[in-house]
Amino acid sequence: MTDYILILVSTILVNNFVLVQFLGLCPFMGVSNKLETAIGMSAATTFVLTLASLSSYLVYEYLLIPLDIEYLKTISFIMVIAVVVGFTEMAIRKSSPLLYRVLGIFLPLITTNCAVLGVALLNIKRENGFMESILYGFGAAVGFSLVLIFFAAMRERIAVADVPKAFQGSAIAMITAGLMSLAFMGFTGLVSI
């Protein structure tokens, strides 16, 4: 039980995928202009990450290992992720067309989100079991969502603030992200996983 909690703490705070491991920066910068968009994106990514993490584990464990074709893990994980994202895209399109339209190109781009593939591959590296894989994926997603929402809220405020001309736009966004990353460094060593 403590293992599971430690996995969650590690993936959400200590080894946050966006700010510490620097994965998944594309949607982090691209979708954080408005808070509603960010929340939608977080929900979508959480769903995708958890499901993809689980499916990748299953494919690896019950297909690749028995057939001795572990070297095919990268391509099969990509396929799994693509299918999960496609499924999610269709589900979102049906349930909330506005969110679908608002997320736009970033929804299918979750496929290329290195955090998703990273989670899948890291599961293998860590030799995570079934439950651990799910939690690892879920924790990664929660960490991503947390940081994305924080960043979006800050960017909304920065948009109307008195930013010097040279720093307006992406420059101040990058600096803010860097400062957030620095802040999250404070968690280092909290949990050794």
Q: Residue from 2, 162, 166, 170 that binds another protein (CB under 8 A)?
A: 162
> Would you give the DSSP letter of residue 163?
-
18 vs 23: CA distance, rounded Å: 5
Nearer to another protein, 20 or 34 (CB): 34
Closest C-alpha among 100, 83, 94 to residue 44: 100
Contact between 81 and another protein by CB under 8 A: the answer reads no
- Per-residue 3-state assignment (H helix, E strand, C coil) for 83-109: HHHHHHHHHHHHHCHHHHHHHHHHCHH
Rounded to the nearest angstrom, the gap between the alpha carbon of residue 138 and the centroid of all alpha carbons in its chain is: 9
Residue 102-121 contact track with another protein, rule CB under 8 A, x = bound: xxx-----------------
Helix (H, G, I), strand (E, B) or coil at 146: helix
Nearer to another protein, 98 or 193 (CB): 98
Task: Say if residue 133 is exposed, middle or buried (CB neighbours under 10 Å; 0-12, 13-18, 19+).
Answer: buried
Contact between 43 and another protein by CB under 8 A: the answer reads no
Contact between 166 and another protein by CB under 8 A: the answer reads no
Q: Residue from 68, 127, 166, 170 that binds another protein (CB under 8 A)?
A: 68
Q: Tokens 């969650």 appear where?
A: 8
Nearest distance from residue 75's CB to another protein, in Å?
Answer: 7
Residue 3-42 contact track with another protein, rule CB under 8 A, x = bound: ------------------------------xx--x-----
Q: Residue from 5, 58, 90, 175 that binds another protein (CB under 8 A)?
A: 90
Q: Residue from 2, 160, 166, 192 that binds another protein (CB under 8 A)?
A: 160
190 vs 13: CA distance, rounded Å: 9
Tokens representing 136 are 């690892």
Nearer to another protein, 77 or 184 (CB): 77
The full length of the chain comes to: 193
Residues within the interface to another protein (CB under 8 A): 33-34, 37, 59, 63-64, 67-69, 72, 75-76, 79-80, 82-83, 86-87, 90-91, 93-94, 97-98, 101-104, 157, 159-162, 165
